[in-house]
């Protein structure tokens, strides 16, 4: 069974506005989701300084709130986004010093079955990979090679498609699932299976919203946004987990990789920062992760994309649009 586990000195008068901005930016684009958006509207949206906005929001997240204001501010957020605090390891709202700590709150050990979906969220799309392309939402595709970067493991003489170059056995197929993390979801993500991470690729880029509505009208959104792709091997072959950044989510943290720095003030368009974990002092084969192990975290909300190799009889136990949580099963081998 496969399981899947998205101190500042700023004056206080700015802080309530930051929370209001957080709320509004996640809803501002909803009117556009019900109609086809002209190309000029997409271009205008892509021109917004989302990276700067995200860095500012990250700094505001770290500003400690006065104790007497923590409960009313967090209660408003809980009410707005439907946060279930009964699952939190610490339910006392006064415990969380700032918005960042509240967003990244931990769960109670017994809140979910040990290991399943890598994150809370909603399933945007899933299925097998066709023609080396993946659907970010129904009917909108992007290049898998552009998303993950070139594969270096193919030593065969005959040319192969990118999809086929990832497969280790002719009886296997390549599958994918896209999970959207809303602002009210649990913001940490876990290892979905027992696997070994061999390579990390960090792609700096835009930080547009990854809400389902925006994903419908911005082509190759996941390839344009900043993302961190972890690739490696599990018992059935190739496995990857990619954390995709979004507006107000410039910070993507991978717990075992302290060198990773996302949402830098300057970056070169189309650049990629690689780190090979094979040969590191800590592990010759890569970073070994057990199913359910804490892997990383976002600020606010974002998207997790799993791409993995499995036998062709693998069956998803999902529905598009389904709300999922860490600890729920992804699919079965028949």
The radius of gyration computed from the CA coordinates of the chain, to the nearest angstrom, equals 20
CA distances from 13 to 98, 187, 293 (A): 15, 27, 40
Query: Is residue 8 annotated as a catalytic residue, yes or no?
Result: no
Which residues are 9's β-sheet partners? none
Helix, strand, coil fractions of the chain, as percent rounded to 5: 25, 30, 45
Q: Take residue 306 and report the two structure tokens written for it.
A: 């799993």
**Residue (of 40, 89, 54, 26) closest to 206 by Cα position:** 54
What is the total residue count of the chain?
334
Q: Are 144 and 133 in contact (CB under 8 A)?
A: yes
Q: Take residue 259 and report the two structure tokens written for it.
A: 């060198």
Query: Is residue 302 annotated as a catalytic residue, yes or no?
Result: yes
Residue recorded with tokens 């993946």: 134
Roughly how many angstroms between the first and final C-alpha of the chain, as a whole number? Answer: 9
CA 299, distance to chain mean position in Å, is 10
Q: Take residue 163 and report the two structure tokens written for it.
A: 């999809």
Query: Is residue 120 annotated as a catalytic residue, yes or no?
Result: yes
Annotated active-site residue in 190, 202, 216, 236: 190
Annotated active-site residue in 120, 202, 206, 211: 120
DSSP state of 38: P
CA distances from 229 to 43, 286, 314, 331 (A): 26, 15, 23, 22
**Residue (of 256, 255, 248, 233) closest to 309 by Cα position:** 233
Q: 91 — phi, psi (to 5°)?
A: -85, -20
* 6-24 core/surface letters (b: 16 or more CB in 10 A; e: else): beeeeeeeebeebbebbee
CA distances from 242 to 7, 156, 305 (A): 30, 26, 5
Catalytic residues: 120, 190, 302
């Amino acid at each position: 069974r496969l399981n899947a586990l998205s101190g500042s000195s700023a004056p206080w008068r700015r802080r309530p506005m930051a929370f209001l901005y957080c709320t509004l930016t996640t809803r501002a684009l909803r009117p556009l989701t019900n109609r086809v958006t002209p190309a000029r509207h997409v271009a205008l949206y892509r021109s917004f300084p989302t990276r700067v906005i995200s860095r500012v929001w990250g700094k505001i997240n770290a500003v400690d709130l006065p104790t007497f204001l923590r409960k009313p501010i967090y209660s408003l957020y809980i009410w707005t986004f439907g946060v279930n605090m009964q699952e939190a390891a610490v339910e006392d709202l006064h415990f969380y010093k700032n918005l960042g700590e509240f967003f990244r709150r931990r769960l109670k050990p017994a809140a979910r079955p040990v290991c399943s979906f890598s994150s809370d969220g909603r399933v945007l799309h899933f299925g097998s990979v066709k023609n080396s392309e993946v659907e970010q939402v129904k009917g909108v595709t992007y290049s898998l090679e552009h998303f993950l970067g070139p594969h270096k493991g193919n030593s065969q003489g005959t040319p192969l498609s990118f999809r086929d170059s990832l497969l280790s056995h002719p009886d296997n197929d390549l599958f994918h699932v896209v999970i959207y993390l809303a602002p009210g979801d649990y913001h940490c993500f876990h290892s979905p299976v027992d696997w070994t991470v061999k390579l990390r690729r960090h792609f700096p880029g835009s930080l547009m919203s990854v809400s389902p509505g925006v994903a419908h009208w911005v082509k190759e959104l996941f390839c344009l946004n900043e993302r961190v792709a972890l690739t490696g091997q599990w018992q059935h072959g190739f496995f990857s987990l990619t954390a995709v950044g979004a507006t107000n989510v410039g910070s993507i943290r991978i717990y075992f990789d302290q060198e990773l720095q996302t949402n830098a003030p300057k970056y070169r368009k189309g650049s990629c920062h690689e780190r090979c974990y094979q040969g590191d002092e800590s592990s010759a084969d890569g970073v070994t992760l057990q199913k359910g192990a804490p892997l990383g975290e976002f600020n606010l909300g974002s998207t997790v994309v799993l791409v993995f190799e499995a036998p062709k009889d693998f069956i998803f136990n999902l529905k598009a649009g389904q709300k999922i949580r860490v600890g729920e099963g992804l699919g079965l081998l028949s």
